[in-house]
């Protein structure tokens, strides 16, 4: 049973790591575009990373619940904290 729990925890961590990487890449491209606004390749890359981050965010939240307070999808967004914390 512990192996199953460890495997689920690893999958959750891998998905969260991929989400963080995609969000970081999108932000880096956004910052680059602040100084290079006419770089169409960079703009395309930004869109791709942002799209990937949104997809990973949706996947994570469908599997494990909201990752940020505003994403709880309820009328009472503060209730997201009543779910299991990531370290539990």
For 7, 15, 64, 86, the CA distances from 61, given in Å and listed in that order, are 18, 10, 5, 12
What pLDDT score was predicted for residue 87? Answer: 67
Residues 81 and 72: their CA atoms lie apart, in Å, by 9
* pTM (two decimals): 0.71
Encode the chain (88 residues) as per-residue pLDDT tens digits: 556 555 666 788 999 999 999 999 999 999 999 999 999 999 999 999 999 999 999 999 998 888 876 655 556 656 656 666 666 6
Computed on alpha carbons and rounded to an integer, the radius of gyration of the chain in Å comes to 16
What pLDDT score was predicted for residue 67? Answer: 83
The candidate with the shortest Cα–Cα distance to 53, out of 80, 38, 71, is 71
83 token code pair: 């779910």
Taking phi over 0 as left and psi of -120 to 50 as alpha, with beta for the rest, 76 belongs to beta
């Amino acid at each position: 049973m512990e192996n199953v729990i460890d495997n689920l925890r690893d999958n959750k961590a891998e998905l969260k790591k991929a989400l963080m990487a995609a969000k970081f890449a999108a932000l880096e491209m956004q910052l680059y575009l602040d100084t290079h606004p006419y770089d169409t390749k960079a703009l395309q890359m930004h869109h791709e990373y942002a799209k990937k981050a949104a997809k990973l965010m949706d996947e994570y939240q469908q599997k494990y619940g909201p990752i940020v307070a505003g994403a709880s999808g309820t009328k009472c967004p503060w209730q997201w904290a009543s779910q299991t914390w990531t370290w539990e």
